[in-house]
């Protein structure tokens, strides 16, 4: 599965200076593929191609772009099993989850971009003039490893739908599914230079994209620390920056909720994708009177999780993505113990039945206080903190006591009460009573969880400039 070339200007090209990197299967800890790490010179080549392509692609008709999107969607559907299996190998998502969620949700973004494009008002009369929405230009797209194809698609789909051209840097840890997407783009007949892909790490390729004077916009998904670096590098050329960063989402289970059912669903939500989600509800707020019910429900939920070979359809949780991530999560589990939280389920070390792979025991802490590290830091692993509260106001204060603001969750038998609480949570998205994913609604954060929005018409508008024509 060696993929040593980059996709630039409509074809596969060799890096300027070859620098191979192994891709590790986190379930086996074995290298199963190689890519090349790029450089600023490779970024220059990709940006030059994208800039040249933008001149004509930005003037294509809606019907033309819908045609390319339709062919991309068809190609994606045809290769969906291959895309899912690739993500299982490169980042450890169980094959059932990789098929039903990782790959399928990525496809949704292309379908949604086509839906929005078909009816989008690129020109609107306003007052004595016309307001035009025009593609912003060349877009640098920097994506993470936890949802490797979904995050690429959530940026690429609206960018090319609006008439922009792109330079994509997928995570070097899980790059292979994005390279398959490049093949789909090529087979769909997208004009040369519209879609370009350069592999590499953050310091060499990511920073070159963020600082490049001929890139008009950077869309970045990743850690808050890396997002700050991207924004600083982009500032010198005053380019638009859209960021989807870290999270520490609170799940408020109000005292009128079915606590057992809410806790069980909350535990599973926290452990989705082995907890490697920016919006995971990792802080569960439970009324003090429901402490024992919550602990017992959490133990039952953890007991139902099946860890194992991610290629086994019965597996519900795979490994973490890397040794680095494994070590980080283990350190924070130990910090929870050291700071006096009660270990309700799980704990440090690998599961007893697994002697290789970056597997972590799904862990629940109880009696967590808001100032503990496990309650404040984004762990990015299957670790849940249960925090007690006495009043609704106290629960909301705890939920908002974080530098992050990506998502929130509220559980209550009273829909109006849940809505009132949701309105007071400082986050970009709030789920009420187990609400499911909706690809048309905006996704993004408050505070240090980022700026800008993805998905649907809000994600579409991120890639457009606004021009007023008067007279």
Residues 345-383 have pLDDT tens digits of 999 999 988 989 999 999 999 999 999 999 999 999 999
Q: Same CATH fold, 250-438 and 6-245+449-470?
A: no
Query: Which one of the listed residues 111, 112, 244, 378 is annotated catalytic?
Result: 244
Taken as a whole, the chain contains a residue count of: 471
Alpha-carbon distance 383 to 399, whole Å?
17
- Checking phi first, is residue 275 left (phi over 0); if not, alpha (psi -120 to 50) or beta? left
* The pair of three-digit structure tokens given for residue 264, joined into one six-digit string: 């069980």
What are the backbone dihedrals phi and psi of residue 69, each rounded to the nearest 5 degrees, phi first? -60, -40
3 state DSSP class of 55: helix
Q: Which of 467, 465, 455, 456 is nearest to 137 (CA)?
A: 465
Q: Given this model, what pLDDT does residue 32 score?
A: 98
**Is the pLDDT assigned to residue 117 strictly greater than 90?**
yes
Model pLDDT for residues 144-170, shown as the tens digit of each residue: 999 999 999 999 999 999 999 999 999
Residue 109 pLDDT > 90, yes or no? Answer: yes
> Does residue 139 carry a catalytic annotation?
no
Cβ of 59: how many Cβ atoms within 10 Å?
A: 10
- C-alpha angle with apex 169: 164 to 172, nearest 5 degrees? 165
Which are the contacts of 185, defined by CB distance < 8 A and separation ≥ 6? 7, 72, 194, 195
**What's the rounded Cα separation, in Å, for the pair 301 and 344?**
11
Using the predicted structure, report yes or no on whether residue 337 has a pLDDT greater than 90.
yes
Q: What is the mean pLDDT of residues 309-332?
A: 98
User: DSSP 3-state assignment of 171?
Assistant: coil
Residue 82 annotated to the active site: no
| pLDDT at residue 274 tops 90 | yes
Q: What angle do CA 436, 437, 438 make, to 5 degrees?
A: 115
Question: What pLDDT is attached to residue 323?
Answer: 97
Q: Which residue has the tokens 């949704």?
A: 108
The string of pLDDT tens digits covering residues 126-143 is: 999 999 999 999 999 999
Whole-angstrom distance, CA of residue 233 vs CA of residue 239: 10
Burial (CB count <10 Å: 0-12, 13-18, 19+), residue 401: middle
pLDDT band at 75 (very low <50, low <70, confident <90, very high): very high
| CB under 8 A, 24+ apart: contacts of 212-216 | 212/43, 212/44, 212/47, 212/140, 212/237, 213/237, 214/47, 214/48, 214/51, 214/138, 215/47, 215/137, 215/138, 215/139, 215/140, 215/167, 215/239, 216/136, 216/137, 216/138, 216/139, 216/240
Q: What are the sequence ranges of the domains in the chain?
A: 6-245+449-470, 250-438
Distance, first Cα to last Cα, the chain: 58
Q: Would you say residue 257 has pLDDT above 90?
A: yes
What span, in angstroms and rounded, lies between the C-alpha atoms of 408 and 196?
A: 35
**Predicted pLDDT of residue 437:** 85
From 248, 290, 253, 254, select the one nearest 270 (Cα to Cα): 248
Q: CA-CA distance, 329 to 327, in Å (whole number)?
A: 6
For residue 352, what pLDDT is reported? 87
Q: Of 164, 172, 278, 454, which one is the catalytic site residue?
A: 278
Please state which CATH class domain 250-438 belongs to.
alpha beta
Backbone dihedral region of 274: left (phi > 0), alpha (psi from -120 to 50 degrees) or beta? left
Per-residue DSSP letters for 294-337? HHHHHHHHHHT--BS-TTSTT--B---S-HHHHHHHHHHHHHHH
Which overall architecture, per CATH, does domain 6-245+449-470 show? 3-Layer(aba) Sandwich (3.40)
Copy the structure tokens of residue 374. Answer: 């496990």
Give residue for tokens 């990015």.
Answer: 380
pLDDT at 29 over 90: yes
Decide if pLDDT at 309 tops 90.
Answer: yes
What predicted TM-score, i.e. pTM, was given to this entire model? 0.97
Burial of 30 (0-12, 13-18, 19+ CB in 10 A): exposed
The rounded mean pLDDT for the chain is: 97
Residues 43-61: tens digit of each pLDDT: 999 999 999 999 999 999 9
How far apart are the C-alpha atoms of 223 and 19, rounded to whole Å? 25
**Nearest CA-CA partner of 307 in 355, 261, 269, 376:** 355
Share of the chain above pLDDT 90, in %: 98
Q: C-alpha distances in angstroms, 382 versus 142, 200, 237?
A: 25, 28, 39
Query: Average of pLDDT values for 3-8?
Result: 98
């Amino acid at each position: 599965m060696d993929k040593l070339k980059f996709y630039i200007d409509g074809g596969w090209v060799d890096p300027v200076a070859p620098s191979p990197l192994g891709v590790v299967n986190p379930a086996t800890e074995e290298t199963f593929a190689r890519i090349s790490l790029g450089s600023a010179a490779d970024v220059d080549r990709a940006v030059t191609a994208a800039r040249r392509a933008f001149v004509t692609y930005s003037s294509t008709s809606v019907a033309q772009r819908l045609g390319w999107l339709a062919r991309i969607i068809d190609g994606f559907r045809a290769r969906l099993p291959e895309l899912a299996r690739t993500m299982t190998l490169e980042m450890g998502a169980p094959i059932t989850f990789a098929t039903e969620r990782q790959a399928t949700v990525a496809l949704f973004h292309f379908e949604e971009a086509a839906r929005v494009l078909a009816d989008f008002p690129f020109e609107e009369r306003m007052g004595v003039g016309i307001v035009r929405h025009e593609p912003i230009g060349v877009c640098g797209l920097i994506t993470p490893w936890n949802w490797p194809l979904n995050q690429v698609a959530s940026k690429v789909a609206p960018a090319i739908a609006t008439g922009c051209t792109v330079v994509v840097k997928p995570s070097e840890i899980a790059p292979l599914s994005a390279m398959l997407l490049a093949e789909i783009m090529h087979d769909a007949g997208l004009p040369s230079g519209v879609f370009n892909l350069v592999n590499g790490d953050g310091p060499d390729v990511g920073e070159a994209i963020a600082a490049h004077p001929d890139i008009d916009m950077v869309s970045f998904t990743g850690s808050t620390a890396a997002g700050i670096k991207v924004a600083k590098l982009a500032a010198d050329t005053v380019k638009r920056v859209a960021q989807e960063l870290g999270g520490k989402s609170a799940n408020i289970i109000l005292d009128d909720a079915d606590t057992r059912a809410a806790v069980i669903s909350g535990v599973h939500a926290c452990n989705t994708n082995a907890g490697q989600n920016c919006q995971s509800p990792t802080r569960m707020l439970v009324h003090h009177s429901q402490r024992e019910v919550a602990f017992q429900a959490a133990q039952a939920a953890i007991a139902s999780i099946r860890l194992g070979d991610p290629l086994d359809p019965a597996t519900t949780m795979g490994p973490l993505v890397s040794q680095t991530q494994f070590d980080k999560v283990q350190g924070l589990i130990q910090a929870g113990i050291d700071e006096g939280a009660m270990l309700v389920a799980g704990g440090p070390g690998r599961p007893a039945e697994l002697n290789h792979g970056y597997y972590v025991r799904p862990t629940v802490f109880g009696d967590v206080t808001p100032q503990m590290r496990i309650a404040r830091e984004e762990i990015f692993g299957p670790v849940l903190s249960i925090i007690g509260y006495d009043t609704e106001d106290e629960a909301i204060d705890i939920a908002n006591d974080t530098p992050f603001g990506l998502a929130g969750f509220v559980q209550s038998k009273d829909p109006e009460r849940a809505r009132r609480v949701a309105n007071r949570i400082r986050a970009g998205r709030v789920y009420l009573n187990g609400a499911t994913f909706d690809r048309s609604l905006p996704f993004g954060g408050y505070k240090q969880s980022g700026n800008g929005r993805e998905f649907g018409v809000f994600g579409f508008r991120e890639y457009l400039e606004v021009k007023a024509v008067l007279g």
